[in-house]
Amino acid sequence: MDTSFQAPPLSIPEYILSSSGRTMPLLGFGTAVSPPVGPQVTKAAILEAIELGYRHFDTASLYGTEQPLGEAIVEAVSVGLIKSREELFITSKLWCSDAHGECVLPALHRSLENLRLEYLDLYLIHWPVSSKHGIYEFPIKQEDFLAMDFKAVWKAMEDCQRLGLTKSIGVSNFSCKKLADILAFSEIPPAVNQVELNPLWQQKKLREFCKANGILLTAYAPLGAQGTIWGSNRVLECEVLKKIAKEKGKSVAQICLRWGFEQGISILVKSFNRERMKSNLEIFNWSLSPDEVRMIDDIPQTRLCCGECYISEYGPFKTINELWDGEI
């Protein structure tokens, strides 16, 4: 395994991000809930997660969970679950309507205000497309899509890191080609690319590209995002994974998460159920056999999150193929 992996005082291993030297817990807790729940439910789940040992929390301006996450951090410190905010790794994301060079810094300031924080650990461009400024909605109206000025937006992201408002910067839902375009002109390269990744969509080409360029891949939907508008139970119902889980005495979810960890990626889990939150942490003291890894490697591949909501005759991506640059 990569020598930049190291074991922290907690049970969750960490990774040293290449462009900043900051350490990032390789298992994080996602806060995008579909359908949405109330802020008090979100806050209570985050406090429970901190109590169980989670230290990496992922939010976004679009999710509506920055404020309850910020409140949970304040309470966690006040009741002694953690000594200070510095024990946590907090990620948020720039929404498409703020993905304009002059709008990035104000958007980050708003996120920090919502979170009651002085800095983020990681700030990501949520999708590789812009939309009309000032309109915060999902799905985005077809006529509101705009081509992103990648140079202007990335320069503003770099400025955010230089100002210390975020310790690292990165992207989400970027293909190899779009990453290569950023790398061609960036002074601070992306530290992270957060994408859909699971045993049924293994992203082998993207994994190789990111590894070669020192970019950590972070997996969202590691279990298939069942219950979301685009998710599916295909991952958790996969017969190959069920067979491996039964033979090892583990859950299918644990097999998926362990597989991701062994691929050298970071993983975001999203469950507000305490038992599943605990179970998702129990993946670091056992391993998959070479035969089991080969069985998973051979699973037929299908993307779940095709990004249809970002396709528009008015915007830069008229087809799914254009959005992912053929990586479908």
Residues 6+ apart with CB under 8 A from 321: 328
Residues 274 and 295: their CA atoms lie apart, in Å, by 30
The helix (run of H) or strand (run of E) holding residue 277 is helix 274-281
Check: CB of residue 134 under 8 Å from CB of residue 97.
yes
pLDDT of 80 = 95
Alpha-carbon separation of residue 40 from 46, 50, 118, 186 (angstroms): 10, 15, 23, 40
Taking CA 250 as the corner, what is the angle to CA 259 and CA 305, rounded to the nearest 5 degrees?
45
Tokens of 316: 């830069």
User: Which residue blocks in 12-166 are alpha helix, DSSP H?
Assistant: 39-52, 66-78, 104-115, 150-162
Taking CA 30 as the corner, what is the angle to CA 29 and CA 32, rounded to the nearest 5 degrees?
160
Residues 6+ apart with CB under 8 A from 262: 287, 288, 293
Active-site position among 15, 54, 63, 220: 63
- Evaluate the CA torsion angle 238, 239, 244, 246 in order and state its sign: positive
Residues 126 and 91: their CA atoms lie apart, in Å, by 11
Q: Which of 153, 185, 149 is nearest to 169 (CA)?
A: 153
Q: What is the mean pLDDT of the chain?
A: 93
Residues 204 and 207: their CA atoms lie apart, in Å, by 5
Residues 6+ apart with CB under 8 A from 212: none
pLDDT of 228 = 58
3-state secondary structure 307-323: CHHHCCCCCCCCCHHHH
Check: CB of residue 107 under 8 Å from CB of residue 98.
yes
Phi, psi (rounded to 5 degrees) for 267: -135, 140
pLDDT of 231 = 55
Per-residue pLDDT of the chain (328 residues; tens, 9 = 90+): 343 443 333 479 999 998 888 899 999 999 988 777 889 999 999 999 999 999 999 999 999 999 999 999 999 999 999 999 999 999 999 999 999 999 999 999 999 999 999 999 999 999 999 999 988 888 999 999 999 999 999 999 999 999 999 999 999 999 999 999 999 999 999 999 999 999 999 999 999 999 999 999 999 999 985 555 555 688 999 999 999 999 999 999 999 999 999 999 999 999 999 999 999 999 999 999 999 999 999 999 988 888 999 999 999 999 999 999 999 8
- Evaluate the CA torsion angle 269, 274, 275, 281 in order and state its sign: positive
Residues 228 and 32: their CA atoms lie apart, in Å, by 10
Residues 270 and 225: their CA atoms lie apart, in Å, by 9
Catalytic residue at 63?
yes
Q: Which of 231, 216, 257 is nearest to 91 (CA)?
A: 216
Tokens of 59: 């939010």
Q: How many residues does the chain have?
A: 328
